Chain A
Amino acid sequence: AQKVTQAQTEISVVEKEDVTLDCVYETRDTTYYLFWYKQPPSGELVFLIRRNSFDEQNEISGRYSWNFQKSTSSFNFTITASQVVDSAVYFCALSEQGGADGLTFGKGTHLIIQP
């Protein structure tokens, strides 16, 4: 069965520090998709990235970057030069190509950026 583990329940850093959120997944499928979502204090869920299992290239989008490593079943998310507006709960999620269900979410990491 598929599983996503976000071991960091809460991280607190000072503004402008870099911070990495860890995501480890388990799946038996060879084709799968990984996602990150952001949930700010207002409560909505904002899609950040989708990555398929055949694309191990790192992705950078502004201050955000993602490191996908199949060898360690990890899909980590780094925020460079963090800002107070980055404060949110971040969820990693997995969907299997051969599965029947929707997304399997991790329990989330609460990121607090202190000014």
Chain B
Amino acid sequence: NAGVTQTPKFQVLKTGQSMTLQCAQDMNHEYMSWYRQDPGMGLRLIHYSVGAGITDQGEVPNGYNVSRSTTEDFPLRLLSAAPSQTSVYFCASSLSRTYEQYFGPGTRLTVT
């Protein structure tokens, strides 16, 4: 099992550009989520999904979009990148919201 995979590992964007961070899991988990990690802030929830076709907003959803067309994939879209979105992004999956979440390796995004 690959677990949770994320691509790319690193990305540099210019302000206003859009991009999609990919996330996939092969554990047949229903629950998937996206977090961002900023220095001194811990991890904050951006969006989550409790199953294919169902998504909802977390604590910091502005500027991000998600969809969940399959159980395996949960991409995160940045609509118009801003320097405030410079961060490390982690995707996670679990059996449900209250079970331990397994994290991908992260994507380090820089917006200039």
**B33, CB-defined interface residue at 8 Å:** yes
Binary CB contact string for chain A from 99 to 115 against chain B (1 if under 8 A, 0 otherwise) = 11111111110000000
Q: A43 touches which one: B44, B48, B105 (CB < 8 A)? A: B105
Q: A102 touches which one: B40, B41, B48, B106 (CB < 8 A)? A: B48
Q: A44 touches which one: B56, B59, B105 (CB < 8 A)? A: B105
* Contact B102–A47 (Cβ < 8 Å): yes
**B42, CB-defined interface residue at 8 Å:** yes
- Which size class do A's interface residues fall under? 20 to 34
Q: Give the number of residues in B that approach A within 8 Å (Cβ atoms).
A: 25
Most buried by A among B35, B43, B92, B101: B43
Binary CB contact string for chain A from 42 to 60 against chain B (1 if under 8 A, 0 otherwise) = 0111010010000000000
Q: Give CA–CA (A103, B96) in the complex, Å.
A: 11
Q: Give CA–CA (A108, B42) in the complex, Å.
A: 6
Q: In the complex, what residue of chain B is closest to A92 when comparing beta carbons?
A: B42
Q: In the complex, what residue of chain A is closest to B88 when comparing beta carbons?
A: A43
Q: B43 touches which one: A33, A44, A50, A103 (CB < 8 A)? A: A103
Most buried by B among A9, A44, A101, A106: A101
* Contact B102–A102 (Cβ < 8 Å): no
Binding site for A on B (CB under 8 A): 31, 33, 35, 40-45, 48, 56, 58-59, 88, 90, 92, 97-103, 105-106
